[in-house]
Amino acid sequence: MDDAKEHYEETGSGFFKEKNRRAGRELLGIAQRDPRRRPLVCRRGMFGLTGTPLLDSSSRVIELANLMGAVYVIGLSSHWRKLERESGRDIFLQRLLEPKQGREIRKTIQATCQKYLTAACCRNKSGEEMAGITLNIEIRRIRMSSEEKAAYLKSQSGIPPDKRSLAIKPEDFDASAGHDISKFLRQNSKLECRGKELVKICKEILDKDPTTKIVVFTDGKIGAGVAARDFLNASGLGCTWLDHSDSVRVKNQKISWYQTGDATEEDKKRPRVLILHFEHAAGLNLQTECYNLILFSPLYIGDGGSSSDDVADASTELQAIGRVHRPGQQRHEVNVYRIEIRGPEDEECLDGQLIRRNTAEETVEQATNAGDEAD
């Protein structure tokens, strides 16, 4: 801490200019490469390996690895650049071309070096593997009935009756004022028109391809998974879901049914629909057998007001879509269906707001920005 303070005072940049981002890192001593000089040292070193960045960039993941492993870990891009410098390649080129280095030469050198780094740093890229696979996103807009509208308005708990409306936004809910957005989200997820549309989409898919398997993602925190399950079971289609009482072995077995083709008559008799929560949106490979995915309701995590994180919600939805739209997909087209509930007179409601929020170009760009800058 003292070393960091002296550094900031010497450079005149001020101590902890970005407190929110740096305070925790300085407290844990992540920036200190010598583990013995860190304020907090774990008694037993651990290292975690993940295929998906845990934080906002690969650099932050490297810092987390430093903390867990009590060793200095370097990213692949930095590693190759470090080797490049140590080889003396930069010095050689500078001395050779210094007397006659023109704009075209500098441009060529920069392009060549960038090509070298791009090839050397294989950072979660799948462009070539996904060539020829089209992602089709279809929004099914359904109008709620007048009875559903009344239940929709009534569920806006804590909001004065004169301010309740179909156009109400999550920001209008204030937990400190006694507003309970969870009741509103639960009612929105279990609207009968939503369940009917889910069943309709599944039947349309199975009519075209009876052997295919369908993945449905729901928000388990508001009971959307239970609602989707009940609608599918009532329709006779049935479904597979991961119960909280299932052991890890049982859950893995259920998921495996949707990762491989039907080999026996027993396999063919199983339900064709798998219901998952957004919590399961990372780490599953369902692309070999599934090419149809349904987002039962748009994701919103928060208590209202300014407590939500649109980038995190968009990232989670993209992770869910990535269970089928990923390398190894056998089909040339992957279909993603979104269900949007609107008012009786086609008024925009919560679904429309959240879909627009979670699919905004700027938000998606932030949610998918996992690259780090090369030195």
Residue 281 — very low, low, confident or very high, per pLDDT cuts 50/70/90?
confident
pLDDT of residue 108: 77
Q: What digits encode the pLDDT tens for the residues 201-210?
A: 999 999 999 9
Model confidence at 74: pLDDT above 80: no
Q: Among candidates 350, 334, 242, which has minimal Cα distance to 297? A: 350
Residues with Cβ within 8 Å of residue 81, at least 6 apart in sequence: 117, 374, 375
Residue range 142-148: mean pLDDT, rounded: 96
Please indicate whether residue 370 or residue 295 has the higher confidence score (pLDDT): 295
SS3 label, residue 213 = strand
pLDDT of residue 130: 72
Lowest mean pLDDT among 78-92, 146-160, 285-299, 313-327: 78-92
Residues with Cβ within 8 Å of residue 63, at least 6 apart in sequence: 25, 30, 31
CA distance 175 to 325: 37
pLDDT of residue 320: 93
- How large a percentage of the chain has pLDDT more than 70? 67
Q: Among candidates 136, 125, 124, 128, which has minimal Cα distance to 332? A: 136
CA distance 278 to 73: 31
Alpha carbon distance, N-terminus to C-terminus of the chain: 26
Residue 169 — very low, low, confident or very high, per pLDDT cuts 50/70/90?
very high
Residue 112 vs residues 77, 124, 375: alpha-carbon distances, Å? 15, 21, 15
Residue range 51-62: mean pLDDT, rounded: 57
Lowest mean pLDDT among 92-106, 186-200, 254-268, 344-358: 92-106
Provide the whole-model pTM.
0.67
pLDDT of residue 73: 54
Q: What digits encode the pLDDT tens for the residues 318-371?
A: 999 999 998 888 899 999 999 999 999 999 999 999 999 999 999 988 887 644
